[in-house]
Structure 1
Amino acid sequence: MMDLKIFQRKFKVSLFSMMVFAFFLLVAMISLYVVRDKILENSHIMGRELAAHFAVKDTARLKGQEMLLRSAAQSMARMQQMKPDMSDAELESALLHFTEYMQRNAEVARFDMCAVINGRLVGGRSSEQKVDVHSLRWYQAALQNNNEVAYTNLYQYGKSNERVLTMAVRFGAADVLAMNVYPERLNVLLVDNQLPQHSYYYLCDPNGNIMFTINDRDMTIEAQQPYVDKLFEEIRRGDSDKVQYITDYEGEKRCVYYTVSNTGWISIVTIPYADLLGDYKSLMYWFVLTLAIFLLLVGGLALRERSLNKQVEEFVEVTRVMSRSFLAVFRVNYVTNRYYMVKAENIGFDPGAEGDYDELLQQLVGYVEPEAAEEFAETFSRTNIKELVERNINDFGGEFRQRLGKGYKWVNVRLMRDELLKPDEAIFFYREVDEEKQKELEHMQVTEHALRVARENVKSRNMFFSAMSHDMRAPLNGIIGMAELAELHKDDCGMVRDYIKKIRSSGEQLLTLINDILDMARLDNAKVEHVQETFSLAKVAGDIGDVFAAQAELEQKYFEQQLLLDENELVSGDLQGLQQILNNILSNAVKYTQAQGRISFLVRKELGDGRRRPQYTFIVKDTGCGMSEKFLEKIFNPFERDSRFGVPKVVGTGLGMTIVKSLVERLEGTIHITSRVDEGTCVIISLPFNVAKNAGETKHVQPKLKDFAGCRVLVAEDNDINMEIISELLTMNGLEVLPAADGRAAVELFKQSEPGSISMVLMDMQMPELNGCEAAQAIRRLERADAQSVPILALTGNDEPDAVEAAMAAGMNDYMIKPLKMKLLAQKMGEYLSH
């Protein structure tokens, strides 16, 4: 009976053990199946993200090409607006200029450009043959795509059937600019795409033609095309949300992932199925091995179960408060002065070590950087631990630099008490925080730098307002004071003329200050646009020199001018930037030179030195007050002025030389200044210009405003004083003025006028009722012949590119900056009324 009970008991135990083992085996098999599915799922996610990443990355790289193409199209549109009747030769020249510019800035090494302008194909290799532009696929795509960049599919071109795709963008009503890109050069853009081992990548157009591929096959693109065609069949036939499989040339099963970019290109990645499950196979081998070992050890482990229970419980208690991220963990009894090492990495201790805590602390101190060793020893001494325990502080520590490997790194060292531990025990652990600490220190440095920059900005702002309040008050006081004196002496014409002259001088000073401020703001915001013009450098330099020669003569100063230039030579470059540079330098030379002093102005063309563009040197010398070495070091800093005793006090913002330096650098030139106190200053500027052609003997007669006497001009201006000034100046020169106080009144006056009776419209940009742009659009929409042909000129105090583009988009022909210059108005009228 006893044996039966024992047998039954053993049978129950064995049955229970078998059930436990069967349950374990079932759970293990299910787990393996779940793991396999999870591995495949994660691999599929990785594959889809890899394909999407390549598509986004490749598309992002080509965005730069789109931006360059858009920029060229906008420039071509502006050229068309400025000169609608450009010849094919001029258009070819413009395209060549854009191509050279884009080749310097583009990442694609090989491309060419062409355009359809006014129904004609210009540029490109096809320009030699007559082509029906409506048959060009890229032309039709660009027209249908409005102002967005359109892409063609890959197609074969020319006698050699060269593979090419075309990017095109529309500008104007039916004009299109295109760039032909050769797919083999896409390697430059896509060469850094990295794939998993044995994986293939294909970039295809919407029809499935291979544009670029990354794989280890020694095959031509034509030889690989059937493989990609098969991929496309599988993709079209299957569910796009599920993973597709395909068998390659070598009979290997591969997973296929793809995505479509916003350009319509398809990015395809194939990864060997066996590689995706490589880790799963290893897991299966280990599972079988582990299962066999488990069967062998089950019996032995059961015998030791009772003796190990106590140790397991102790380790469970420790692991509940221990994180795997710790470098080292010690269990410390601060009453018995004993420790037990649970875990240790990179600090010279063997796992399972135990002993005296004081000795452990001394060893740990040896790893701490010397500057913090004493603090570390005091913080984690048994005496300090007991004091913290008495104060019910259960978590304390700090961050120290400790030697880990060959160098020191930041670690967080803490001592923690917990209810799960014995009353006299604590956990002493290390955690590496070097990366977090470095980020914290970097953040602190960034914060300190931001505070320093903020303080400097506040200082600069205060300097700016201080300088402006002083410099603007002087001309404003002059204007107000002279106006009051003119009113008091209104019967004395001579005195009134003198007062008016001084009012004008003060106004010009104030305008100069404002222009300097606006120029500096545009330079800081990188909004300065360089307009390339063709001009005679000898004439421009001579005209500017003559202005300052006259000023020097009035101030009893000697001005010498020497132009070692060919008067018939024309150069191409930024005329406005050159004028601004020379005006600033010559103005300073005259201002800071005392009476009877000398100013010399020399311009010469340097001899050829192998450079691509000729260099022209501008030298301005004076015998003025000069500058100290200290001020010379900061002459190009904004708002800086020489404050030493004896320097003439002249009106200025302290921005002139800052603007000059920025303009010279933007024009790819150099500037060098030498100066001595009370001896004078020498400024040497070197600028490159492209030689255009010889001017010949042709002279152009500049029109005068009175040449257009009898013309009727509609003036839209809401400011009464500005209206009075413009009307008086036009009337004095024989022109008839139709005044309008706002935009709506201007439109009504134009409606009521006889067709063709108004020769020109001067339109203020900022007006009530309708602003300048709205009024111009309303006039252009009128159903009368002259509504489209009448010249409309914008009057604005804002010459920012956005404002100018808005005026042009509203239908205006040109713009003029306030205050209005009659000479410039006469020139504009000559341009628009002479034909």
Structure 2
Amino acid sequence: MANDRTITMQLRQMLSNIENEELSNSFQKVREQQNRVEKKTWLIILVGGFALVTIIFFLVNILRDITKSQHYRKSLEEAKAYTELLLRSKEQFMLSLTHDLKSPLSSIIGFTGIMQDEAGVSPQHQKYLQNISVSSAHILNLINSLLDLARLQTGKLTIDCIPFSLKPLMDDIVEGFRPQAIAKNIDLQFQFNLPPTVVYVSDPMRITQVLSNLISNAFKFTETGKISIIVSAIKSFEKTDQVKIEVIDTGIGISEENTRLIFEEFARVASTRQYEGTGLGLTITQKLIHLLKGTINIISEVGKGSHFIIVLPLEKGEQLAVVTPKITVDQSKEAKAEIIGKKVWLIDDDETLLEMTSAILNSAGMEVHAFSDPETAIRSFEKGCANLLITDIQMPVINGFEVLKQILIKNEGHIAAIAISGSNMEEKEFAGFSAFIKKPFQPQALIQAISGQLKIATIIDQKESSGYSRHNGYNLRQFAAFAEGDPEILTQILVSFIKTGKQNALLFRQFLHAESDHELSELSHKMLSLFRQLEANDLVVLLSQLEHKDFASLHHKEFYLCGKMAIEQIDELLQTIQKEENIHID
């Protein structure tokens, strides 16, 4: 028994030791596990804290970048608005300044011209008058250059697309420089390597401006030798020709490093500083060529001359017997003979310009009724009392457009009218006037314009007596002027106009149905020139609205309402012209 108890106690002791050892091991493992958990917990806390700090850091930087971006955008918007304001202010300043300069310059040029034409002026005084005339012309060129540059910088100068014959245009440009070539004893050569009857669709006025600038430069820097103008086609496609026009001179030339500078604004090469100029001619030329979607390059060598190469993509037009109206200097006496005894209603609020213009017209033998107050001029006007209306546009109480409107009412809708303006409006903006003359002008230019308009009025009057329609919202006098009164040429022009009009009307209807804003605006702009020439004033107003792309996006419903009204008027107008002018389309 005693042994059994001893064994039992020993077993209990052993079990107790084993149990204690197991408990001790378990506690040890628990403590180790807790240590590992604590370490991992701290690691997680540290990693989480670092991640949180990193996220906060990046969030702060992102927010700061967004704030900076918004600040920069706001600053840019403010800078853009300020720049646009400066450009508008600059443009307004230029318009006001040039208009104010043109009025006194008109008086100087006009009175100088009158004095030069008078008998008994001594050679010495003639020399003084010639110097005044040359200086006035230089100031006028400077004013026009600044205006063109301002328009180009603000995007206000646009390109018109009208059909024209390139050969007569080039002849006029080149022959205009013939007296200068004779005076400087320079051989002026001209080659036209295209069919003489070729017709293109572009802006002949801008092409004339570009080439006049380049040829004028050639004469300025060429003392001896020759100047060559060469016209050719380098590539011909189905609808366009790549026309190359070269102006080559044997002048002083330009070094290769300076050829990069000559197209910059107001830049003048050191070797040319002895010659007059502002450094704007080639800048304007390059910008105009880019507007015409062309290119200009120069090859030059000092002492040997310069070679300017222009490439213009010109759209092909229909081969018509196009006649370009032309009154040369040699015809001035004939022009004066045609206007002797004609009655003119002259209106200008500037007393000096009124006196000067009256003197020019009186010396030409015209019967002048001059008014400085447009209201008095309108009240005094009676049907048939004048053959011609000449009026200033910008007048304080009633402008020239309102004067024309009131005179037309009194004269039953017909009078030849010439606008005189020192403003910078384009020719197409003088709707309703037969012609316009920009101040300042030469007396001869005024006489030639009057003679041309009285010829047109005679043609129209003759046509009206045999059923020539000037009603139903259109007027053919500008087309008649272009045809110089030739009925066959006028008919050809009208056939071409109606064919083109119907093609455009079909496209217009398609774009209108598809709601193609951009294409409709582009087509409206393309159609505007011819309808302006046709003096379809109601339709011109609608197309002028449609050519503005912003109008479509801002006033979508009104845009397409204008479009529907326009296509109805186009269809009606084409039908009316075809019927009333007895035009047969094959």
TM-score (norm 1): 0.42
Q: Alpha carbons of 1:353 and 1:699: their partners in 2 closer, same or farther (altered >3 Å)?
A: closer
User: Partner residue of 2:151?
Assistant: 522
Structure 2: tracts of 5 or more residues without a match: 1-39, 328-333, 461-586
Shift of 1:828: 2.6
Q: Alpha carbons of 1:746 and 1:705: their partners in 2 closer, same or farther (altered >3 Å)?
A: same
Match of 2:311 among 686, 701, 721: 686
1:673-718 deviations in whole A, cap 9, x for unaligned? 2223333221100112233344559796758243132210100012
User: Partner residue of 1:817?
Assistant: 438
8 A contact 2:167–2:192 mirrored in 1: yes
In structure 1, how many angstroms separate the alpha carbons of the residues matched to 2:239 and 2:199? 17
Shift of 1:813: 4.8
Shift of 1:664: 1.2
Q: Alpha carbons of 1:652 and 1:700: their partners in 2 closer, same or farther (altered >3 Å)?
A: closer
In structure 2, how many angstroms separate the alpha carbons of the residues matched to 1:700 and 1:526? 31
User: Partner residue of 1:628?
Assistant: 255
User: Partner residue of 1:834?
Assistant: 459
User: Partner residue of 1:576?
Assistant: 205
1:160-184 deviations in whole A, cap 9, x for unaligned? xxxxxxxxxxxxxxxxxxxxxxxxx
1:479-507 deviations in whole A, cap 9, x for unaligned? 89x99xx99xx986111111111111111
Residue type at the aligned position of 1:562:
Q
RMSD between aligned residues: 4.2
Structure 1: tracts of 5 or more residues without a match: 1-348, 369-401, 405-410, 413-429
8 A contact 1:740–1:749 mirrored in 2: no
Residue type at the aligned position of 1:727:
S
Match of 1:789 among 414, 425, 435: 414
Shift of 1:804: 5.9
Shift of 1:741: 0.9
8 A contact 2:224–2:250 mirrored in 1: no
In structure 1, how many angstroms separate the alpha carbons of the residues matched to 2:422 and 2:150? 15
> Aligned with 2:381: secondary structure?
helix
Matches within 5 A, 1:517-556: 517-556=146-185
8 A contact 1:614–1:689 mirrored in 2: yes
Residue type at the aligned position of 1:649:
Q
1:559 matched to 2:188? The reply is: yes
Q: Alpha carbons of 1:708 and 1:789: their partners in 2 closer, same or farther (altered >3 Å)?
A: same
8 A contact 1:705–1:825 mirrored in 2: no
> Aligned with 2:177: secondary structure?
helix
8 A contact 1:804–1:815 mirrored in 2: no
User: Partner residue of 1:505?
Assistant: 134
User: Partner residue of 1:649?
Assistant: 274
In structure 1, how many angstroms separate the alpha carbons of the residues matched to 2:70 and 2:301? 44
1:521-563 deviations in whole A, cap 9, x for unaligned? 2222222233333332122112211222331331233322222
Matches within 5 A, 1:51-62: none
Q: Alpha carbons of 1:445 and 1:649: their partners in 2 closer, same or farther (altered >3 Å)?
A: farther
Q: Alpha carbons of 1:452 and 1:527: their partners in 2 closer, same or farther (altered >3 Å)?
A: closer
1:437 matched to 2:65? The reply is: yes
Match of 2:406 among 778, 783, 786: 778
1:667 matched to 2:298? The reply is: no
Q: Alpha carbons of 1:491 and 1:795: their partners in 2 closer, same or farther (altered >3 Å)?
A: closer
Residue type at the aligned position of 1:724:
E
User: Partner residue of 1:741?
Assistant: 372
8 A contact 2:420–2:439 mirrored in 1: yes
In structure 2, how many angstroms separate the alpha carbons of the residues matched to 1:700 and 1:621? 29
Of 434-443 and 546-555, the range deviating more from structure 2 = 434-443
> Aligned with 1:498: secondary structure?
helix
User: Partner residue of 2:264?
Assistant: 637
User: Partner residue of 1:373?
Assistant: none
Residue type at the aligned position of 1:558:
D
8 A contact 1:568–1:696 mirrored in 2: yes
In structure 2, how many angstroms separate the alpha carbons of the residues matched to 1:539 and 1:350? 95
Shift of 1:655: 2.0
Percent identity of the aligned residues? 26
User: Partner residue of 1:750?
Assistant: 381
> Aligned with 1:653: secondary structure?
coil
In structure 2, how many angstroms separate the alpha carbons of the residues matched to 1:543 and 1:436? 65
Q: Alpha carbons of 1:710 and 1:652: their partners in 2 closer, same or farther (altered >3 Å)?
A: same
In structure 1, how many angstroms separate the alpha carbons of the residues matched to 2:72 and 2:440? 50
In structure 1, how many angstroms separate the alpha carbons of the residues matched to 2:54 and 2:184? 76
In structure 2, how many angstroms separate the alpha carbons of the residues matched to 1:637 and 1:456? 22
Shift of 1:613: 0.3
> Aligned with 2:274: secondary structure?
coil
Match of 2:231 among 603, 620, 627: 603
User: Partner residue of 1:619?
Assistant: 246
Q: Alpha carbons of 1:519 and 1:553: their partners in 2 closer, same or farther (altered >3 Å)?
A: same
In structure 2, how many angstroms separate the alpha carbons of the residues matched to 1:443 and 1:648? 46
Residue type at the aligned position of 1:567:
P
User: Partner residue of 1:193?
Assistant: none
In structure 2, how many angstroms separate the alpha carbons of the residues matched to 1:540 and 1:812? 24
Residue type at the aligned position of 1:673:
I
Residue type at the aligned position of 1:639:
F
Q: Quick check: which has more Rg, 1 or 2?
A: 1
Residue type at the aligned position of 2:132:
I
1:559-599 deviations in whole A, cap 9, x for unaligned? 22222232233333211011001001111111112x22332
Q: Indicate the structure with greater helix content.
A: 2
Shift of 1:629: 3.5
In structure 1, how many angstroms separate the alpha carbons of the residues matched to 2:261 and 2:217? 16
In structure 1, how many angstroms separate the alpha carbons of the residues matched to 2:129 and 2:84? 42
> Aligned with 1:614: secondary structure?
strand
Residue type at the aligned position of 2:189:
E
User: Partner residue of 1:71?
Assistant: none
Q: Alpha carbons of 1:804 and 1:512: their partners in 2 closer, same or farther (altered >3 Å)?
A: same
1:231-273 deviations in whole A, cap 9, x for unaligned? xxxxxxxxxxxxxxxxxxxxxxxxxxxxxxxxxxxxxxxxxxx
> Aligned with 1:528: secondary structure?
coil
Matches within 5 A, 1:679-718: 679-694=304-319, 702=327, 704-718=335-349
Q: Alpha carbons of 1:652 and 1:742: their partners in 2 closer, same or farther (altered >3 Å)?
A: farther
Q: Indicate the structure with greater strand content.
A: 1
In structure 2, how many angstroms separate the alpha carbons of the residues matched to 1:717 and 1:453? 38
In structure 1, how many angstroms separate the alpha carbons of the residues matched to 2:125 and 2:161? 44
Shift of 1:403: 6.5
